[in-house]
């Protein structure tokens, strides 16, 4: 099972992931996937692991402070997979221990640097040894959020023993911003919060509203939440901060909140710089700085406090060489609402030798080891910054970090990622509005027609699409003048990029104008229209993106050429895993044929929405868009 809820085409996506992993293994690049080699330059690191006696102080040298209370020398190896951020520190500690003890034939510790999301997905899917090799004994990811994702997977039952892993280091999630831009917002006297980010990205005048039109729009960068802890932390933090509730804002119930859904869509539309990782963004920012466009390339991005320190030192990859400080440093803005931290949990997996794993954990938590993490820009396991961060006054204010927020439960993280995937991968959406006679009925308790409310909700949703989203608008009834198939349906605005100019107005504006002009008439050719819309969107499908038909209807067929059975047969024949089309059927009124609608979405994927109140109509449009 994948980390996020699988949708149409998931088998093909898994095959693509498997092929990508195979290519990665064939073309391993040093520094990205590094197998720590310490024994004579060949093989795994050979260490003497001894549990440190309680209360034993660590000397500066480190080796003599590791007490021989528990001898765990064996001939087997302890396989450790760690995020590339901390693996260099673990490597250096291992090297010093090996040089100090010099004992041959003791336990080998193989430390491999691999991305946290990749390992989380492999564990969540049951760990395929034919693809990944032997399962690790210890996993040190960048964030406990990845551990919670694994716990939430039924396929990973029994992989993780109960209880959270102890952190070996920490680094708060911050907002990095080029210093001149931060100063324009009042830094260092003021900080930027998660809610402030949403306000800034929504500012139509961009930096001109702050007196700097030369910087252009506020360009927010976000690394992919599915593969990057920084992106995942930002997604969870922004969603929770928007509601003011940390504990359940991103649970399944919290995601039903219309404001959380709207926030996800607004955030996605506002991201100007996307990448798989923070490192990619920092490399691109450094290059933009060399070309003199660093202040217009990126305004802010979520990342670890340590990444700001590392960037300002000139280190462009974890553990890599420095090319000197950048001309324009980053500053770290600490959101006052708080947020999730990179907490690097030491997670022992099922089947590991717990005594030997415990000895390694004791080693990493020793005073000397903790100082080494601090010297590499991390905070220690107790969240205390070391002298390196305290002395790095260029851009860092460690004392300003907001409250550290607990990681939500795995099902909440999983739901948030599923929602984000649906939002960010949305490629083609066709909005189809029923204009049959029943749509002129008044909504109970109001003086508005059902059609007026449907058009209003559709207009509101137009602001939530990205400029590159492929969107179109149809109306349907029967005997509509000039429309195909005996007037069953009419294309009001053809599918195309939302931001495209259509004769002096954008597609967004053309759709809004068309929605204002809808008038109810005649009967409901629901089945004919669904099939035609399905065919149109399937033909426009874009690889690896979600294609959707959203239909607002009175919910019952009374003017179709097709029968329900004929429609279902046609949908079965058209089903194509390479070009999936999902239906969102929003049915309002007292004559909804829900069993028929459920049968339709049962073949295509999607959901039937039956709002009971005026307030729910806006919400179900957002639910249909976000796919959750």
CB 454 within 8 A of CB 433: yes
300/183 same-domain check: yes
Cβ-Cβ contacts under 8 Å for 345 (sequence gap 6 or more):
140, 141, 143, 144, 147, 164, 165, 166, 167, 168
455/601 same-domain check: yes
Residue 233's pLDDT is what? 92
Q: How far apart are CA 132 and CA 125, in angstroms?
A: 12
Residue 180's pLDDT is what? 96
Taking residues 306-325, what's their average pLDDT? Answer: 80
Residue 559's pLDDT is what? 85
Q: How far apart are CA 315 and CA 441, in angstroms?
A: 65
315/199 same-domain check: yes
Q: DSSP letter at 439?
A: G
234/248 same-domain check: yes
Strand pairing category for 345-348 and 166-167: antiparallel
CATH of the domain at 589: 3.40.50.410
In a domain, 390, yes or no: no
| DSSP 3-state of 200 | helix
pLDDT digits (tens, 9 = 90+) for 3-13: 333 333 333 33
Taking residues 271-278, what's their average pLDDT? Answer: 86
pLDDT digits (tens, 9 = 90+) for 326-376: 999 999 999 988 888 999 999 999 988 888 888 888 889 999 999 999 999
In a domain, 26, yes or no: yes
Radius of gyration, CA atoms only, the chain: 28
Q: How far apart are CA 524 and CA 558, in angstroms?
A: 5
Residue 96's pLDDT is what? 59
For residue 81, what are the β-bridge partners? 112, 139
Residue 393's pLDDT is what? 66
| Residue 246 predicted with pLDDT over 60 | no
Strands (E), 435-555: 470-476, 489-497, 546-553
Residue 311's pLDDT is what? 93
Residue 625's pLDDT is what? 67
In a domain, 617, yes or no: yes
pLDDT band at 467 (very low <50, low <70, confident <90, very high): confident
In a domain, 470, yes or no: yes
Residue 346's pLDDT is what? 96
185/322 same-domain check: yes
In a domain, 418, yes or no: no
230's tokens: 């920084």
Strands (E), 290-444: 301-304, 330-333, 341-342, 345-348, 426-434
Residue 131's pLDDT is what? 86
Cα three-residue angle 589-591-596, rounded to 5 degrees:
115
113's tokens: 């640097």
> Which has more pLDDT, 483 or 24?
483
> Which has more pLDDT, 453 or 243?
453
CATH of the domain at 234: 3.40.190.10
| Residue 266 predicted with pLDDT over 90 | no
pLDDT digits (tens, 9 = 90+) for 433-458: 999 999 998 888 788 899 998 898 88
41/143 same-domain check: yes
CB 298 within 8 A of CB 219: yes
351/451 same-domain check: no
115/198 same-domain check: no
Q: Which of 358, 383, 408 is the last residue of a domain?
A: 383
Q: How far apart are CA 448 and CA 426, in angstroms?
A: 31
264/377 same-domain check: no
> Comparing C-alpha atoms, which of 200, 191, 167 is closest to residue 82?
167
Range of the domain at 563: 425-626
> Which has more pLDDT, 78 or 28?
78
pLDDT digits (tens, 9 = 90+) for 284-295: 999 999 899 989
| Residue 152 predicted with pLDDT over 80 | yes
Taking residues 385-392, what's their average pLDDT? Answer: 84
> Which has more pLDDT, 588 or 420?
588
Lowest mean pLDDT among 24-33, 254-263, 279-288, 449-458: 24-33
| Residue 541 predicted with pLDDT over 70 | yes
Count CA atoms within 13 Å of residue 507 on its CB side: 22
Sign of CA dihedral 144, 147, 152, 157: negative
Q: Which of 383, 403, 436 is the last residue of a domain?
A: 383
In a domain, 602, yes or no: yes
Q: Among residues of the chain, what percentage have pLDDT more than 70?
A: 79
Q: How far apart are CA 94 and CA 91, in angstroms?
A: 5
* Number of structural domains the chain divides into: 3
In a domain, 164, yes or no: yes
335/198 same-domain check: yes
Please indicate, yes or no, whether the overall pTM of this predicted structure exceeds 0.85.
no
56/139 same-domain check: yes
Residues in the chain: 628
Residue 247's pLDDT is what? 45
With left for phi above 0 and alpha for psi between -120 and 50, is residue 575 left, alpha or beta? Answer: beta
Residue 586's pLDDT is what? 92
Q: Which long-range contacts (CB under 8 A, 24 or more apart) does 487-494 make?
A: 487/522, 488/525, 488/528, 488/529, 488/532, 488/559, 488/560, 488/561, 489/432, 489/525, 489/528, 489/529, 489/532, 489/533
CB 139 within 8 A of CB 84: no
pLDDT band at 263 (very low <50, low <70, confident <90, very high): confident
In a domain, 411, yes or no: no
Q: Among residues of the chain, what percentage have pLDDT more than 90?
A: 43
Q: Which of 283, 316, 342 is the last residue of a domain?
A: 342
Q: Phi and psi for 589 in degrees, rounded to 5?
A: 130, 180
Residue 15's pLDDT is what? 44
Residue 44's pLDDT is what? 34
Strands (E), 498-568: 546-553
- The burial class, CB within 10 Å (0-12 / 13-18 / 19+), for 291 is exposed
- The burial class, CB within 10 Å (0-12 / 13-18 / 19+), for 180 is middle
Average pLDDT of the chain is 80
Q: How far apart are CA 90 and CA 139, in angstroms?
A: 12
pLDDT band at 626 (very low <50, low <70, confident <90, very high): low
| Residue 50 predicted with pLDDT over 80 | no
Max avg pLDDT among 252-261, 315-324, 525-534? 525-534
Q: How far apart are CA 60 and CA 449, in angstroms?
A: 77
Max avg pLDDT among 20-29, 138-147, 269-278, 386-395? 138-147
> Which has more pLDDT, 136 or 416?
136
pLDDT band at 303 (very low <50, low <70, confident <90, very high): very high
| Residue 110 predicted with pLDDT over 60 | yes
165/179 same-domain check: no
pLDDT band at 426 (very low <50, low <70, confident <90, very high): low
């Amino acid at each position: 099972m994948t980390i996020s809820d699988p949708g149409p085409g998931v088998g093909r996506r898994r095959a693509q992931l498997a092929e990508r992993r195979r290519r990665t293994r064939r073309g391993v690049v040093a520094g990205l996937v590094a197998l720590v080699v310490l024994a004579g330059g060949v093989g795994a690191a050979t260490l003497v692991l001894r549990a440190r006696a309680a209360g034993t102080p660590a000397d500066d040298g480190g080796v003599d402070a590791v007490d021989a209370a528990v001898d765990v020398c064996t001939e087997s190896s302890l396989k450790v997979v760690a995020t590339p951020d901390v693996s260099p520190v673990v490597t250096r500690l291992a090297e010093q221990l090996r040089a100090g003890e010099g004992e041959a034939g003791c336990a080998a510790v193989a430390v491999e640097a691999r991305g946290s999301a990749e390992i989380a997905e492999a564990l969540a899917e049951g760990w395929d040894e034919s693809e990944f090799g032997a399962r690790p004994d210890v996993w040190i990811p960048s964030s406990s959020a990845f551990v919670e994702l694994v716990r939430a997977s039924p396929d990973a039952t029994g992989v993780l023993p109960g209880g959270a892993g102890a952190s070996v280091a920490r680094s708060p999630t911050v907002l990095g911003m080029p210093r001149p831009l931060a100063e324009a917002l009042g830094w260092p006297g003021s900080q930027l919060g998660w809610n402030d980010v949403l306000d800034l990205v929504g500012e139509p005048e961009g930096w001109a509203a702050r007196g700097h039109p030369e910087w252009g729009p506020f360009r927010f960068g976000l690394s992919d939440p599915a593969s990057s802890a920084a992106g995942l932390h930002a997604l969870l933090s922004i969603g929770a901060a928007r509601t003011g509730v940390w504990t359940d804002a991103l649970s399944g119930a919290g995601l039903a909140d219309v404001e959380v859904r709207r926030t996800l869509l607004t955030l996605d539309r506002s991201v100007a710089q996307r990448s798989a990782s923070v490192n990619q963004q920092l490399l691109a920012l450094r290059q933009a700085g060399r070309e003199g466009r660093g202040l217009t390339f990126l305004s802010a991005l979520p990342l670890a406090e340590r990444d700001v320190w590392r960037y300002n030192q000139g280190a462009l990859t974890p553990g890599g060489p420095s090319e000197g400080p950048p001309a324009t440093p980053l500053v770290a803005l600490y959101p006052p609402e708080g947020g999730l931290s990179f907490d690097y949990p030491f997670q022992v997996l099922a089947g590991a030798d717990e005594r030997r794993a415990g000895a390694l954990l004791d080693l990493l938590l020793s005073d000397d080891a903790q100082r080494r993490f601090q010297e590499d820009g991390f905070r220690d396991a107790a969240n205390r910054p070391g002298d390196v961060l305290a002395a790095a006054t260029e851009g860092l204010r460690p004392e300003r970090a907001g409250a550290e927020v607990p990681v939500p439960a795995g099902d909440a993280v999983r739901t948030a990622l599923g929602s984000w995937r649906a939002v960010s991968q949305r490629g083609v959406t066709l909005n189809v509005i029923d204009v049959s006679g029943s749509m002129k009925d008044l909504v109970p308790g109001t003086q508005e027609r059902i059609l007026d409310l449907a058009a209003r909700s559709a207009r509101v949703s137009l602001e939530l699409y990205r400029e590159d989203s492929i969107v179109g608008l149809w109306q349907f009834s029967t005997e509509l003048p000039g429309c195909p198939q005996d007037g069953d349906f009419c294309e009001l605005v053809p599918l195309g990029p939302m931001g495209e100019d259509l004769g002096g107005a954008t597609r967004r504006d053309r759709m809004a104008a068309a929605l204002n002009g809808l008038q109810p008439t005649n009967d409901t050719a629901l089945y004919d229209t669904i099939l035609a819309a399905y065919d149109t969107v399937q033909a426009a499908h874009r690889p690896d993106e979600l294609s959707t038909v959203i239909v607002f209807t009175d919910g019952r067929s009374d003017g179709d050429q097709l029968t329900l059975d004929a429609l279902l047969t046609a949908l079965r024949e058209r089903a194509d895993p390479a070009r999936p089309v999902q239906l969102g059927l929003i049915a309002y009124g007292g004559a909804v044929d829900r069993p028929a609608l459920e049968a339709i979405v049962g073949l295509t994927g999607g959901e039937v929405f039956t709002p009971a109140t005026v307030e729910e109509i806006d919400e179900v449009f957002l639910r249909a868009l976000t796919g959750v």
